[in-house]
Amino acid sequence: MNNNQKKVALITGANRGLGFETAKQLGEQGITVVLAARQLSSAKIAAEKLIATGIDAYAIQLDVTKAADRTAAATYLTEKFGKLDILINNAGVAPKTAFEPRNLDTSAEEFEYIFNTNLFSIVYLTKELIPLLKKSDAGRIVNLSSILGSLGVHSQEDSPIAGFRILSYNASKASLNMFTVQLAEELKGTSIKVNSAHPGWVKTDMGGDEAPMAIVDGAKTSVQLALVGEDGPSGKFIHLGEELPW
């Protein structure tokens, strides 16, 4: 077992994009990072890149939609470290079809695909890992949300995100925000803090090349929330230190 003083972070969807960059930035802070991906080979390649730079990194297979993988991840963390300090629920999906406004014509298949990954799997994985997070002196859960899940911003006159009303995706992120609020309340009195992060519109596979933010900046909010102190926020929706409307 590793030195119990060293923090351990699990980052889902960590083989590329924001997840990989988040793992890198946490690793550079001296935190042991466990990179999770749907394919073990992808996770291993990503972890090896970080190990080559001196980061303490490990790789696991974790398809968040698979119960067996979620249980195996909890078992691995228990046996290897005996605790978990940081959970970054980074894995998420967008519609398989074009990322364009779609409401009543959203298919049942799209709703199920999006909600299964962006909400249900996060709830199930978090539940699986709560016992390990409770063993941390300062457990931190970061749920990767999006400004597109903000009811407040969507309902504004001349909303800046009016062109991105994709019901399946946006509703999944609004629901994830509800999970953040309710879990934070449930965990009051423990050492665990739970927050939603809006990374920004980032140049990832999902964000596209026209996105204004670099991946290195998109990961900053997750890293900041993973490292907040005892007096830091819980049950909030944050982007680069600024609170966003639900």
What is the set of active-site residues? Answer: 169, 173
Q: Which residues of 175-185 are buried (b: 16+ CB within 10 A; e: fewer)?
A: bbbebbbebbe
Distance of CA 192 to the CA centre of its chain: 16
Q: Which residues sit opposite 197 in a β-bridge?
A: 144, 238
What is the DSSP-derived secondary structure letter of residue 123? H
Pairing of strands 140-144, 193-197: parallel
Q: Is the CA virtual torsion 29, 237, 167, 160 positive or negative? A: negative
Query: What is the spatial distance between Cα 127 and Cα 33, in angstroms, rounded to a whole number?
Result: 20
Query: What is the spatial distance between Cα 50 and Cα 41, in angstroms, rounded to a whole number?
Result: 15
CB atoms within 10 A of CB 90: 27
Structure-token pair, residue 145: 């949300």
- At residue 226, the 3 state secondary structure works out as helix
Distances (CA, A) of 71 to 39, 75, 90, 130: 16, 6, 18, 12
Q: Contact 226/86 with Cβ under 8 angstroms?
A: yes
Report the candidate in 92, 112, 85 with the shortest Cα–Cα distance to residue 196: 92
